[in-house]
Structure 1
């Protein structure tokens, strides 16, 4: 048996220091009815500091080829993210290859990856551990729930595994407006009221309204003055919303010495004690191809040998995607195919001890439900737009919109990588 727990650090930050421009590819085809996404980015190092920044690669033509015959096109959803059709899911025993053409005409392709089967997850259990997390994860806070699984490894075949998790928590705050206020309706240009209000019409807007800061001599007649500086307001959700958090490490497993045995008491997740509310954890057991396993193991070996991010690794860690006309040029990241077994595990947090991470606000206890999670994720308490009436010394909103009978408005929960308005499978009311 060989197990590696790998800190979740972008590969280019670890292995390509000194390389100023590198293509980063990330994509896994699974056999589940879930979004199948290929991410393409370019990691570019600052010539002075050497620190890397990420630039999404847009307008690429991306496709996945199944069994060298069937071509499945992807469409760009957000910058650098390319999604396969919603009805597509991979099949065990079938071969998959990634091909794409960048906007400059450069063609890339991956090696073929045959999706191996994966056995189901059996028993799942959790135990509160006040010393679970590495200190660097949450600024010295270490309390979390360790989650363990059992799974029967198949007899007579060499299997490689990877585990990850996805955490769902109820979220009550849906939008932050920086130097502006949230407006349900579009503000009418050049229309003001009482030198105090911007005026909204009937056209739906549902966005942050951020009027420019102007000196007094540039203001139109009746136009309200907008304060400068760095300020913001937070807006509560207008409906159900769930925050989504993901694994912060990579755990892989080689069954060489336990072939056909029971994988028992295997820790597969450490769920931070963010707050006292119950939560849902999706535990995922993925099959790995032998080449994908070797890539992740090499990643771990290089990270351990170099001693950290400040050291230069001996060689660049190249993935399995290469330019068609120059196969010797590598990229970072890996394209692979994995079968997945999922268990929706309800974490009630009834066995916790001590204080939750979200209650460590130096300004004192929180009053509203959801504020502990907000603090845990943002390291600040929410700051809502002050409601009218603005009398008797009450704090006034920095930007005011008329009519103001619905201020502050509620914001919708927008589907994204980190939020969803749709009730997760396995959620308990």
Structure 2
């Protein structure tokens, strides 16, 4: 390296250490407060319509979203015969109970904020999704390894063409140590099982990726093994039992283009060789100021769903979950019950006795994270679990 190069680096380091005042670029601290809207006008009469309305926040904000509260949302038909108002549930979520709508009409969403601003989506046609033919999985050992969950579908009328999926994962797991005892006030007693079991739990994860597919270039409207979710080898989800429910929606061409741009902007930007950010143009506009930026897209149609279960025994041996890390077990004597169990928050595992007396002379314990599965999920079995 040349001498002047070393000098340049030295000057840069001196400058870095000399700077005491934090610099925040204007873009970081600027709150543009854009309205964001997401949802589907569900026309099936089976599922509720759920619309989420929020505002963008600064990158430095401690909250991820700012809900748009006390807005009035109304679904309208292009013949003015349908006007249905949604109910605000919480946190910027608005819903309407299931109601069937005429699939030959077009629909839009009207939003009136508590501040008096009004927004309208474009009228959009109803897209009725065909059934999901199958949801399956296969072990992939080439490239990025993992258990690949996929879906198959088709439309015999060749009218769907643009597909979007999301999913919800649920899996059963257990902790390192089984607790037979529970602290009940100032005493310790045996657990009432299975109601008080904290060894087995279920965790649910909502999808965050945008999953799309188009059959426009195919003769037949058939989707075969569209990749939905890849689970890495050794993941905890593959430990006992795993379930995934896949939700399928058909989009218009404009809606598909919107979600494709959003997918590229959020998932593929990482280097100069990746797709660069594109202008995101949705179908929602401010009535009084068409130039105002509004982020989101409102579609109308139906959703098809299919769930599968995957047991650990169905997973290739080399992909199965193997617990790592030990959980040391301590013995707690009666003199330390108060500080350890009654006020210390520790959980007893097993009782130590000296036969023939059944009275415990001590209890064992470990770290709470090694005992209580509820720290990462719930010990209440989901209603759909089989």
TM range, smaller chain: 0.5 to 0.7
- Distance between the aligned counterparts of 1:308 and 1:54, measured in 2? 27
**Which of the numbers 289, 299, 314 marks the counterpart of 1:336?**
299
8 Å CA contact 1:121–1:343 kept in 2: the answer is yes
Structure-1 residue corresponding to 2:167: 165
- Distance between the aligned counterparts of 1:390 and 1:76, measured in 2? 54
More contact order relative to length (CA 8 Å, sep ≥ 6): 1
- Spell out, residue by residue over 1:63-109, the C-alpha distance to the aligned partner (whole angstroms, 9 max, x if none): 22244321222112222111112x33556444221112111111111
8 Å CA contact 2:52–2:92 kept in 1: the answer is yes
Distance 1:40 1:358, change over 3 A: farther
- Spell out, residue by residue over 1:132-157, the C-alpha distance to the aligned partner (whole angstroms, 9 max, x if none): 87xxxxxxxx74x2122322243453
Could you tell me the TM-score, scaled by structure 2's length?
0.64
Structure-2 residue corresponding to 1:353: 317
Would you say 1:113 and 2:119 are equivalent positions?
A: no
The runs of 5 or more residues in structure 1 that have no matched partner are 1-15, 134-141, 174-183, 185-195, 198-234, 368-388, 401-410
Distance 1:172 1:64, change over 3 A: farther
Distance 1:280 1:161, change over 3 A: same
- Distance between the aligned counterparts of 1:149 and 1:329, measured in 2? 39
The Cα shift of 1:295 comes to 0.4
8 Å CA contact 2:312–2:320 kept in 1: the answer is no
- Spell out, residue by residue over 1:223-270, the C-alpha distance to the aligned partner (whole angstroms, 9 max, x if none): xxxxxxxxxxxx9679x9853222231121222211425322322232
> Paired residues, what number?
305
Structure-2 residue corresponding to 1:263: 223
Once the two structures are superposed, the pairs formed by residues 6-405 of structure 1 within 5 Å of their partners are: 20-30=32-42, 31=44, 33-46=46-59, 49=60, 53-67=64-78, 68-85=80-97, 87-88=98-99, 92-129=103-140, 143=146, 145-157=147-159, 159-170=161-172, 242-271=202-231, 273=235, 274-303=237-266, 307=270, 316-350=279-313, 351-354=315-318, 359-360=323-324, 362-364=325-327, 391-394=334-337, 395-398=340-343
- Spell out, residue by residue over 1:167-196, the C-alpha distance to the aligned partner (whole angstroms, 9 max, x if none): 2234789xxxxxxxxxx9xxxxxxxxxxx9
Could you tell me the TM-score, scaled by structure 1's length?
0.59
The Cα shift of 1:292 comes to 0.7
8 Å CA contact 2:127–2:160 kept in 1: the answer is no
8 Å CA contact 2:215–2:222 kept in 1: the answer is no
- Structure 1 range deviating more: 314-323 or 53-62: 314-323
Distance 1:147 1:26, change over 3 A: same
The structure whose Rg is larger is 2
Distance 1:308 1:327, change over 3 A: farther
CA RMSD, aligned part only?
4.3
- Distance between the aligned counterparts of 2:271 and 2:286, measured in 1? 30
Structure-2 residue corresponding to 1:423: 383
- Spell out, residue by residue over 1:5-41, the C-alpha distance to the aligned partner (whole angstroms, 9 max, x if none): xxxxxxxxxxx97663211111123337334311111
Greater share of residues in helix: 2
The Cα shift of 1:128 comes to 3.1
8 Å CA contact 2:31–2:56 kept in 1: the answer is no
- Distance between the aligned counterparts of 1:314 and 1:123, measured in 2? 34
- Spell out, residue by residue over 1:385-429, the C-alpha distance to the aligned partner (whole angstroms, 9 max, x if none): xxxx993323134389xxxxxxxxxx9x9xxxx9987512xx32x
Distance 1:84 1:171, change over 3 A: farther
Distance 1:132 1:112, change over 3 A: farther
- Spell out, residue by residue over 1:186-217, the C-alpha distance to the aligned partner (whole angstroms, 9 max, x if none): xxxxxxxxxx99xxxxxxxxxxxxxxxxxxxx
- Distance between the aligned counterparts of 2:277 and 2:89, measured in 1? 37
